[in-house]
Structure 1
Amino acid sequence: MRINVTMIVFLTMSLSLSEALEAGVDNADIVDKNKLNQLFNINYQGDLYSGYLKADAQGTTQFYYLFYPAANDSLKKPIILWLNGGPGCSSIQGAFNENGPFVFKAGTSEFELNKYSWTNFANMIYLESPISVGFSYGPQVEQSDESTAKYNLQALLDFFNKFPEYKTLPLFLAGESFGGVYVPTLTIEIIDYNSKQSAESRINLQGLAIGNGCTDPTECTHAAWQFQVHVFHQVGRHNFISEELYEKVRSVEKQCVEVKTDICRQISQEVEEQITGKDQKIKANQYNMYGACYTYTPEGSKMASRSHGLMSYTEDADIPACADIQGLYHHLRSNQVRDLLHIKPESAEWEVCSKKFVDYKENPKGSYYLYEEILKHQIKVLIYSGDVDGVVPVTGTMYWLNKLQKELSLLTLNPWRPWFVPGKRDVDGNQNAGYVVDLDGLTFMTIRNAGHMVPLDKREEAEIFMAKFVKHELFP
């Protein structure tokens, strides 16, 4: 029996096209896998979509996104929308440095496949926001935490217009750092949006997960930045400063949280000097207190000189101090990669943290005040914290969680206890990965020896806890 090869090819192409049309996939944004593997020197076999989402009704504001469908059975897996922080830092960090299917080897421009990718259990969307971040663009207007939430909601709705078959799937919002503001504010926008929609038109929001997130007014606000009480507790407890200086911190912290006097500024300076020397030339990575400090700075860029605490967006620098960004700049400033990822001419040259804001208004209340509403709507919450982060440290997270539990009278469902990763050899047993406590509607966990970017420092642990979270599984 003779086989008509041409007919088989035609039928195969027709079937693929019909499947794509039935699924509603936007093939204009699909990335050429062969070119991607050639440029990045990897063997990635999944799909990747790269393009823009309308972040306002007029379509003049365009937010850049990356979308990785889950490795298998994508329409049976939940969606995770990932937001990095700043304000003004690119979520491509999350994709290429943390939990995407291919990531950079530390300190290099070389990719490697990530066996702990979150695409193992979810469909991953990475969104660059607000306006002027990464490849996203739009009118140069004043922005705020509240406007960013509205932009992000519109971008999410446009994503579901492009990929309608994903709209009914469970959605989880996740992020880190200033994502601790982006994620709760977007959650409230979705709650408000859903309240005005019919059941079949609502976004199927199930939960939010935030790592080392800016939350309380005492953490990442302008007022807090001048006397970083939680950072000082973190470095004091880890003996990065003398016991004498730590005693000074404790003696003035109550007054310095309220009013920033000369003694507060003096003590802040002393903390900096004890960590990095009087001339501040000793490198100390505030994002992982026990990690290496990377100092690669590409041409035309400037690294933040502040050695400790959160980088302010008013600083004349586009790179956070000690950040490992060599691979990001090497690839994302390449014209070949811009072509591969369908980057429009309107998009500026990529930088990890935008300095192009006309103005950005941070809410002095942070996002703490939103949690009562979020929990009331039974949105599942996971707060996780790398325990050696010196930027938004675990000390601050535990402070506001304790306050929240008291104010809302949240029951402790399961007490503080260790959690673990399964031993890789029989002799290892179950390895301590941190600690976890379950409150009514909220789980808090620490990740041992992880810094500000948990999925960068502890990829296996991050995959374990996030997969459990989206599957609604409790920790032992």
Structure 2
Amino acid sequence: MKFSALAFLGAATVVAADLSILSTKDDCNSIKDKGECVSSKDGDESCVWCECQAVPSVCVSKDQADSLPPGVFECSSPDGEFYFVEDKVHHLKENPMEKGSDFCDPASKSISGYMDISGSKYDENGENKHLFFWMFEKRNANLIESKEEIPFVVWLTGGPGCSSTLALLTENGPCSVNSDGESTTTNPYSWTEAAHVLWLDQPAGVGYSYGTESDTGEEMVAEDAYYFLQAFFQSHPEYAKSPLFIIGESYGGHYVPAISHRVWKGNQEKVKNTIELNFGGLAIGNGLTNPEEQYKWYPEMVYHNSHNITVVSESVYEAMKAAVPKCTALIHKCNSGDGPIADFACQGAFIACNLGLTSPYQATGLNPYDISKKCEHPPLCYDFSQVGKFLNLESTKKTLNVDEKHSHHWDSCNYGINMKFHHDWMTDFSGYVSDLLDAGFPALIYAGDLDFICNYLGNKAWTLGLDWKHKDEFNAAEVHEWKKAGLARTSNGFTFLQVYDGGHMVPSDQPENSLEMLKVFLSGGKF
């Protein structure tokens, strides 16, 4: 982990003052050699070697290490692993739900709070970004003998700028908020029936997460998420050996490949103070992953979809088709290089493509997330007011350990964050999926067939066009009906699943089928 010289100089006087609290009577403090320090004791009384560039390195007890300034010392435990200074884990609270209460799912162990992004090149000291998470263990995890085999899912809602906590309470989490906005009902089809699940509000500024800086692209998102995962699993080693699956929807088509690829690279690089993350695979639901391919299919989705719903007139359909070549040419240029020309093409593609290919749909007044419905509550089309009321209750914030001093009012989406990603919108992340498939990791791409905005036609097309070592076998694989719930194509760990009667949020529209889909994927079963 690297820190700037200015950071150390600015902290020097504080460090010196904090070092004065170390008792000379403590056995650890008398040790001056790192090797002797980390091998001196075992168990709870083990010594910790803390290195610093501002003042001399020291041998301290674990309690003393917790009192040292975070972001200034690098501390190693007796087993050689990085010892996380307690201050780096902000507001972490375990088991916030009292058993017998009606708060979400009290039967499951839950952890909620913040992790600082310490170590990321975009926030080396963990001072600028603080990401909120809410995690539930798998239901009945205490009855499972081999707990290390329980999958661990990280869920990412898209937007960009929308809160994963919203998905927890409306899609695939252990409870939903009642209409009064003050109570919850248990969700029998929660994804915690299959795995431990952590819902992450990211980037900073989304949901309860906060920070003095915000991400503006997937490289930053991936870097920060990687160090969030490092912080979480080093702080909670009881989950570190569980197979880790990164899953998300919508703009998660960008997030999931980028973060998964960063985890894979991080495991190869083995940078100091990081641990190997037990990456198991990735899944994307109704995602935007390869815009150049996916934007081609907007005209067909409104005129030739599987539900035979004609959304626009023939003249509008023809106008949309005519807009495709200019759109895809700009997207191609956007992805062809770096620098001002590519950046200009990315911005131009965002404007031209959405004007020509999504605006005609929006003009119909239909729900872009479900072509069979009207958009009743723009801009998201769904009424999430009860969720907002619930998450902004003082009692809820207290239970979830939300930092009320720094965190802002909870909203389903932060549109300021959304605007910062417009230059990143047309970037193609399908190549990251190729890399991970070629490395042997499974990938599931699923799409509800009523969604317009990230529709099944575009998602199917980019999976068929994906260049990877088993492309021919995948393309030749038989398309078959899966459990009367959808159409599946699968080969060599790669699956595309068209989910019948599902919109953009498949777990909301098809809760039972989406849970079964998750179980099959996590277990390595056959679709």
TM-score, scaled relative to structure 1: 0.77
Note the C-alpha offset of 1:441. 3.1
**C-alpha displacement of 1:73:** 2.5
Question: 1:25-174, aligned counterparts within 5 Å?
Answer: 28-34=92-98, 37-38=101-102, 40=103, 44-57=106-119, 58-60=125-127, 61-73=129-141, 75=147, 76-104=149-177, 111-141=184-214, 143-174=216-247
Residue 446 of structure 1 pairs with residue 498 of structure 2? yes
| Paired AA for residue 71 in structure 1 | R
AA of the residue aligned to 2:360: V
Q: Evaluate the alpha carbon distance shift between residue 104 and residue 446 of structure 1 in structure 2; reply closer, same or farther with a 3 A threshold.
A: farther
RMSD: 3.1
Name which of 281, 300, 321 aligns with 1:207.
Answer: 281
* Equivalences, count: 401
Residues 219-245 of structure 1 show CA distances to partners (whole Å, capped at 9, x for unaligned) of 78xxxxxxx542332111231112343
Counterpart CA distance in 2 for 1:406 and 1:377 is 10
Please give the secondary structure, in 1, of the residue aligned with 2:486: strand
User: Quick check: 2:470–2:492 contact (8 Å CA) kept in 1?
Assistant: no
Give the counterpart letter for 2:161 in structure 1: G
- Contact 2:204/2:215 (<8 A) preserved: no
Give per-residue Cα distances to partners, 1:393-429, cap 9 Å, x unaligned.
1121122112115897341374101111xxxxxxxxx
Instruction: Single out whichever of 234-243 and 126-135 deviates more from structure 2.
Output: 234-243
Please tell me whether the aligned partners of residues 405 and 411 of structure 1 are also in contact (alpha carbons under 8 angstroms).
Answer: no
CA distance in 2 between partners of 1:70 and 1:373 (Å): 30
Match of 1:232 in 2: 299
Shift in CA distance, 462/142, structure 1 to aligned 2, threshold 3 Å = closer
Say whether the 8 Å CA contact 2:135–2:197 is kept in structure 1.
yes
Q: Give the match's secondary structure for 1:350.
A: coil
* Matched AA of 1:352: S
Question: Which residue identity is paired with 2:126?
Answer: G
> Counterparts of 1:146 and 1:241 in 2: how far apart (Å)?
38
**Corresponding position: 1:351 with 2:411:** yes
Question: C-alpha displacement at 1:163, in angstroms?
Answer: 1.1
Q: 1:323, CA displacement in angstroms?
A: 2.7
Could you tell me which runs of 5 or more consecutive residues in structure 1 were left unpaired when the two chains were aligned.
Answer: 1-23, 221-227, 277-283, 296-302, 305-320, 421-431
C-alpha distance in 2, partners of 1:404/1:202?
A: 28
- Provide the rounded CA distance (Å) in 1 between the counterparts of 2:353 and 2:211: 40
Partners of 1:376 and 1:122 in 2: CA distance: 25
1:322 to 366, 381, 385: 381
Q: Distance in 2 between matches of 1:266 and 1:147?
A: 28
Q: Give yes or no for the alignment of 1:271 onto 2:342.
A: no
Q: Does 1:419 align with 2:471?
A: no
In 1: Cα distance, 2:520 partner to 2:189 partner: 14
The residue correspondences of 1:5-20 to structure 2 (distance < 5 A) are none
**For the Cα contact (< 8 Å) 2:371–2:452, is it kept in 1?**
yes
Residue deviations 1:13-49, cap 9 Å, x none? xxxxxxxxxxx999951243239934x4x66321221
Structure 2 counterpart of 1:271, one-letter code: P
* SS of aligned partner of 1:343: coil
Secondary structure of 2:262 counterpart = helix
Q: Deviations over 1:256-291 (max 9, x none)?
A: 432689998886588347623xxxxxxx21111224
Amino acid at match of 1:340: T
> CA separation in 1, counterparts of 2:374 and 2:358?
23
Structure with the larger RCO, 1 or 2 (CA within 8 Å, 6+ apart) = 1
Post-superposition shift, 1:251? Answer: 4.5
Percent sequence identity over matched residues? 27
Relative to structure 1, the CA distance from residue 66 to residue 270 in structure 2 (aligned partners, 3 Å threshold; closer, same or farther) is closer
Correspondence 1:285 to 2:367: yes
Verify the 8 A CA contact 1:55 1:154 in the aligned structure 2. Answer: yes
For 2:356 and 2:413, how far apart are their aligned partners in 1?
29
Question: Who is 2:317 aligned against?
Answer: 246
Query: Alpha carbons of 1:49 and 1:137: their partners in 2 closer, same or farther (altered >3 Å)?
Result: same
Could you say which residue in structure 2 is the equivalent of 1:469? 521
Specify the SS of the correspondent of 2:312.
Answer: coil
Q: Which of these residues, 382, 385, 392, is aligned with residue 454 of structure 2?
A: 392
CA deviations over 1:363-415 (Å, ceiling 9, x no partner): 64231222221112111100000000011111211221121158973413741
- Asked if 1 retains the 8 angstrom alpha-carbon contact of 2:254 and 2:429, the reply is yes
CA offset at residue 70 of structure 1? 0.7
Q: Which runs of 5+ in 2 are unaligned?
A: 1-83, 120-124, 331-347
TM-score by length of 2: 0.69
Shifted more, 235-244 versus 202-211: the winner is 235-244
SS of residue paired to 1:191: helix
Distance 1:440 1:392, change over 3 A: same
- SS of corresponding position for 1:340: helix
The residue type equivalent to 2:445 in the other structure is I
